[in-house]
Structure 1
Amino acid sequence: MNYGQQILGHEVETEQGWGQIQHILSQIIPPTFPRRDFVVTDFGAVGNGIMDCTDAFRRVMMAANMAGGGRVVVPAGIYLTGPIHFKSKVNLYVSKEATIKFSQDLEKYLPMVLNRFEGVELYNYSPLIYSYGAVNIAITGEGILDGNGDNEHWWPWKGLTQYGWQEGQVHQAEDRNVLFTMAEQNVPVEERKFGSGHYLRPSFIQFYNSKNILIEGVTVKDSPMWQISPVLCENITINSVKIIGHGPNTDGFDPDSCKNILIKNCYFDNGDDCIAIKSGRNGDGRRINIPCENIVIQNNYMKDGHGGITIGSEISGSVRNVFADHNVMDSPNLDRALRFKTNSVRGGIIENIYFRNTTVKSIDEEIFIVDMDYEEGDAGEYTPIVRNIFVENLESYGGKTGILMSAYERTPISNVQFTNCILHNVETPFVLKNVERLVFKNVSINGKHYDDV
């Protein structure tokens, strides 16, 4: 290898890559709303934590929309409700001393609505907060959205004793297998009906086929499953949000086949991935075939989770153009910092991924991992492609493996470049299998300098 030429090419390629970020940010514009307030208590809601406010939220949402838009204000108090379905041009403002607490009555989440479960479309219980085809919507304020998931409700459906499941109780495995089989057999989505009598947990906030979305300032906690997971949406801003929950699969933010996303200044403390970028699962993801793309991740703080910034595993529609800058990860209960997970059942392309100024203060397993053997492994016909990954100014402390990259011989991980990275006190510096065009420039692991591999 001509190392000098490789480095020159790397510097130009990286500079050109980061040069795209301003164009992407120019496409991400938070929605604005008429200066018009609709107070939920004027529509019959009572913030005593006991009264059912489902109908009050339905009526106030409708009124704000029909008036041409505005702010739905939730004043101080605890408001117990079923699902909230957004209409266009509405900003749900949750005041600082307010909590919206979601009911544990399953009947409240019927009738079923179209949503995605682990990247597969179906009709199921409504997400706790939902929209379909809405434009200009927001959740703002300093209050709390409480999904009310716990080891007696929602979480036992995972089928694990640490989340309240007991031997002999029903859980999600059978329904999950049925859904995935339906998708692979091209059963029409309208016939994939679950809901009552089934055990597939909904996401907390799932805006669907919607655009111009803002979530800002609020705390989101204790979801049944994925906490914030927009699907097939465009123009999304997530700013200064706390996302907390240690139930099963309680990922923090999972955009799924979405475009033009900014997530900044957020705090994550989760039972699964903090951020997981997705684009549909297996045949259903290929049927829709819409990537997740143009994503900017800035100035976030990540504690517990399976992964800090993750791409996959529901990746069949591909992911591209991800820019992560100035993010901090700090927990011995965070398994992996920067994580890619795919396999030949998923397929898809992961490309043009940029990490810069990442600080990993503590970690359990890998600092950086690309894994093509996630879950099913090499058991399918859809060979994944992973290429063009650039990591700059990464500093980490601890962990079992610094850099782990494992691919199939027929599809090596290609064009991965580490620049100005320092990894302290890692047990194993790197494990590499089928990687080509790997460049190290000014990389130090446990005090040993690496210029090339």
Structure 2
Amino acid sequence: MIRRKQDIKTIYITMLMVLAGISVCALKAQEPVRPIVQQVSFPNDTLRITEFGAKGDGQYINTEAINNAITTVNEKGGGVVLVPGGLWLTGPIEMKSNVNLHIQRDAVILFTDNFDAYELVESNWEGEPAWRNQNPISGKNLENIAITGTGVIDGNGGAWRMVKRDKMTDAQWKKLVASGGVVDEAGRIWYPSESALRGATTQNAGKGHAGQTAADFRDVKDFLRPNLLVFTSCKRILLEGVTIQNSPAWNIHPLMCEDLTVRNLNVRNPWYGQNGDGLDIESCKNVLVENSTFDVGDDAICIKSGRDKAGRDRGMPTENVIIRNNIVYHGHGGFVIGSEMSGGARNIWVEDCSLVGTDIGLRFKTTRGRGGVVENIFINNINMVGIPGEAILFDMYYGLKGQLPKAGEGGAALAEIPPVTAETPRFQNFVIRNIKVNGAEKGIFFRGLPEMSIKNILIEHAHIVAKKGVELIEASNIVVKDLTLKTANTNPLIHIDNSKNIVFTALKPIDNIDLLIQVSGAKTEKVVLTGTKAESVKKTSVFSNGASEKALIIK
């Protein structure tokens, strides 16, 4: 029996994986069934906010009128609350079940910059319970809700956010300081008020204890910025068509929700906006994000599930998520998981997205103390252009200042390795295919923990143009198949440190390569290179910091 060429190739790669000790089952596990996200449905009944006294002149405060319209539609059994053309200044909007808030194309909902309109409430901040100012749009324990249309929701975030001096031109900084507010003693950060500055210098501002009330946080109220749109423990949600922009902190934050659809949104924040995330999906189940555009000041599309003990105690992973056909411009990360992922994340598909100018492309970040398991992540067909940092990054030292000590470098000794506990995070079982990158600082970077490597990752069919190539630190069971790599710095093209069971097959370096691979660390073993086009390679390998030449197998 003559096997097809593709069958023979698959068998050969499988043999190499076995040679390296890689679990074939782990890398070829069958994908979970994709979720079916339940959709919203509303009666046709429509009430206009003008029927409740709303005025779209940009001066009248419409808080009562908009909320009365929402309550009335809810009490009638559901329907549409229509926001017609105009500039609608308002305080916090509280959504109700079975209500579709529909914003027409020529309508702008602008939230007031009067902080007194926002009460201090028990809320959530970066994955932990905290006191914050009331969210401009919120809803809790609701079902069948929507915000639709083609108009604009503006959070007036410039009134809330601090701004760093190094993110402004001289003229912009001078104008900002002249507008009011205060600057810290170092002259580096502008704050909108003394209260905001006081909060910035207060440890764990907003983090409460049993028995505390809003009065305990009054002196730092201005610092406790809200997220623009927060739905908590809601079911069947639709966000479609509108522009959501200029948030005080995160733009959109669904928390512990189920059956969420995000479609055709335009999500915007100033690039310098502190904590200016686009979409943070936290401890949610059954989610679809499609055909949307993000241009924001922090991570763009981000998966979270709580921080440290609070996230582990909640025990609600974000799971069953489809993210497709989106475009991200500026953002600290294009598609991101972490760093608050203590409840875990699993069964997530990301496909057919373009990341244009994001600081990092695919960004997976965590640190000791988080705990949580991130697994079964399937990424396919991603375009990246002009990435200032890494195209693909796995980092388990998020927030680290300075360099990690390594054995044998200047006499430095490795720090004591802690035991594996519930506080140890895990990244495992990722399949990343069909990646095209034109311009990045580094193509691929993994940095795991000595006690918990980044493991069971397949990267297949990647074409990368970057300044630097590939660096894998504390990784195991990694297969990189069909990687075309063009770099400016070719010394080395690939660096493997304290990692094991690594296979590169059909590696295609472009242009002259000074050094193909550097192997370092006494723990490194079973690194396999096969089918590498090495005609332009001046030197194949070097070994350092206790690495054995037996650790590298070239076929």
Q: TM-score, normalised by structure 2?
A: 0.74
Q: Which residue, 507, 519, 523 being the options, matches 1:450?
A: 507
Q: Distance between the aligned counterparts of 1:363 and 1:216, measured in 2? A: 28
1:386 is the counterpart of 2:412: no
User: 1:347 Cα shift?
Assistant: 1.8
CA distances 1:151-191 after superposition (whole Å, capped 9, x unpaired) = xx1012x77674856125443434562445x5xxxx34975
> Where does residue 113 of structure 1 map in the other structure?
121
Q: Distance between the aligned counterparts of 1:101 and 1:289, measured in 2? A: 36
> Where does residue 177 of structure 1 map in the other structure?
204
1:167 is the counterpart of 2:173: no
Change (3 A) 1:97 1:281: same
CA distances 1:385-430 after superposition (whole Å, capped 9, x unpaired) = 1100110000101111111000111111110101111112x11111
Change (3 A) 1:92 1:195: farther
> Where does residue 480 of structure 2 map in the other structure?
440
Amino acid in the other structure paired with 1:450: L
Q: Distance between the aligned counterparts of 2:161 and 2:389, measured in 1? A: 25
Q: Which residue, 216, 219, 225 being the options, matches 1:197?
A: 219
Amino acid in the other structure paired with 2:340: E
User: 1:118 Cα shift?
Assistant: 1.0
Q: Which residue, 109, 126, 133 being the options, matches 2:134?
A: 126
> Where does residue 96 of structure 1 map in the other structure?
105
1:145 is the counterpart of 2:153: yes
> Where does residue 3 of structure 1 map in the other structure?
13
Q: Is the 8 A contact 1:125 1:196 kept in 2?
A: no
Q: Is the 8 A contact 1:91 1:137 kept in 2?
A: yes
1:301 is the counterpart of 2:315: no
Q: Is the 8 A contact 2:143 2:236 kept in 1?
A: yes
Q: Is the 8 A contact 2:131 2:206 kept in 1?
A: no
User: 1:122 Cα shift?
Assistant: 2.4
Q: Distance between the aligned counterparts of 1:251 and 1:101, measured in 2? A: 19
Q: Is the 8 A contact 2:70 2:95 kept in 1?
A: yes
Question: Secondary structure of 1:273's partner?
Answer: coil
CA distances 1:61-117 after superposition (whole Å, capped 9, x unpaired) = 11010000100000000000001011110000000100000011111111x333211
Q: Distance between the aligned counterparts of 1:16 and 1:6, measured in 2? A: 21
Amino acid in the other structure paired with 2:430: I
1:85 is the counterpart of 2:85: no
Q: Distance between the aligned counterparts of 2:260 and 2:351, measured in 1? A: 18
CA distances 1:351-402 after superposition (whole Å, capped 9, x unpaired) = 1111100011221110000111112689996111110011000010111111
> Where does residue 248 of structure 2 map in the other structure?
224
> Where does residue 262 of structure 2 map in the other structure?
238
1:34 is the counterpart of 2:40: no
Q: Distance between the aligned counterparts of 2:480 and 2:107, measured in 1? A: 50
Amino acid in the other structure paired with 2:347: N
Change (3 A) 1:12 1:316: closer
Change (3 A) 1:178 1:345: farther
User: 1:2 Cα shift?
Assistant: 7.4
Q: TM-score, normalised by structure 1?
A: 0.90
> Where does residue 293 of structure 2 map in the other structure?
267
User: 1:344 Cα shift?
Assistant: 0.8
1:61 is the counterpart of 2:70: yes
Q: Is the 8 A contact 1:10 1:417 kept in 2?
A: no
Amino acid in the other structure paired with 2:161: W
Change (3 A) 1:16 1:97: same
1:20 is the counterpart of 2:33: yes
Question: Secondary structure of 1:71's partner?
Answer: strand
User: 1:194 Cα shift?
Assistant: 6.5
Question: Secondary structure of 1:202's partner?
Answer: coil
Amino acid in the other structure paired with 1:135: E
Change (3 A) 1:194 1:230: farther
Change (3 A) 1:92 1:229: same
Q: Is the 8 A contact 1:302 1:330 kept in 2?
A: yes
CA distances 1:8-40 after superposition (whole Å, capped 9, x unpaired) = 9869955822x622xx1x2x1221111110100
Q: Distance between the aligned counterparts of 2:58 and 2:45, measured in 1? A: 26
User: 1:343 Cα shift?
Assistant: 0.5
| Structure 2 residues not aligned, in runs of 5+ | 1-10, 169-175, 177-181, 186-193, 402-416, 488-492, 494-505, 509-527, 530-555
Q: Which residue, 294, 297, 310 being the options, matches 1:284?
A: 310
Q: Is the 8 A contact 1:123 1:193 kept in 2?
A: no
Change (3 A) 1:205 1:105: same
Q: Distance between the aligned counterparts of 2:343 and 2:202, measured in 1? A: 23
Q: Which residue, 155, 158, 161 being the options, matches 1:155?
A: 161
Q: Distance between the aligned counterparts of 1:239 and 1:432, measured in 2? A: 36
Change (3 A) 1:422 1:11: farther
Change (3 A) 1:365 1:159: closer
> Where does residue 361 of structure 2 map in the other structure?
337
User: 1:249 Cα shift?
Assistant: 1.1
Change (3 A) 1:120 1:137: same
Q: Is the 8 A contact 2:27 2:429 kept in 1?
A: no
Q: Distance between the aligned counterparts of 2:235 and 2:50, measured in 1? A: 28
Amino acid in the other structure paired with 1:357: N
| Structure 1 residues not aligned, in runs of 5+ | none
> Where does residue 61 of structure 2 map in the other structure?
52
Q: Distance between the aligned counterparts of 1:13 and 1:114, measured in 2? A: 43
> Where does residue 82 of structure 2 map in the other structure?
73
Change (3 A) 1:267 1:189: farther
Aligned-residue Cα RMSD (Å) equals 2.5
User: 1:295 Cα shift?
Assistant: 1.0
1:428 is the counterpart of 2:468: yes
Change (3 A) 1:59 1:146: same
> Where does residue 373 of structure 1 map in the other structure?
397
1:255 is the counterpart of 2:296: no
User: 1:270 Cα shift?
Assistant: 0.5
Question: Secondary structure of 1:400's partner?
Answer: strand
User: 1:7 Cα shift?
Assistant: 6.7
Amino acid in the other structure paired with 2:230: Q
Q: Distance between the aligned counterparts of 1:122 and 1:12, measured in 2? A: 39
Change (3 A) 1:15 1:288: closer
Q: Is the 8 A contact 1:252 1:268 kept in 2?
A: yes
Q: Distance between the aligned counterparts of 2:150 and 2:254, measured in 1? A: 21
1:419 is the counterpart of 2:435: no
Question: Secondary structure of 2:183's partner?
Answer: coil
Q: Which residue, 404, 407, 415 being the options, matches 2:448?
A: 407
Give aligned-pair identity as a percent: 33
CA distances 1:205-256 after superposition (whole Å, capped 9, x unpaired) = 0001111100000001100000001111111000000000111111100011
Which range is displaced more, 402-411 or 1-10? 1-10
Change (3 A) 1:390 1:69: same
Question: Secondary structure of 2:255's partner?
Answer: coil
Question: Secondary structure of 1:446's partner?
Answer: strand
Q: Distance between the aligned counterparts of 1:117 and 1:354, measured in 2? A: 28
Q: Distance between the aligned counterparts of 2:216 and 2:348, measured in 1? A: 34
Q: Distance between the aligned counterparts of 2:302 and 2:463, measured in 1? A: 25
Change (3 A) 1:4 1:202: same
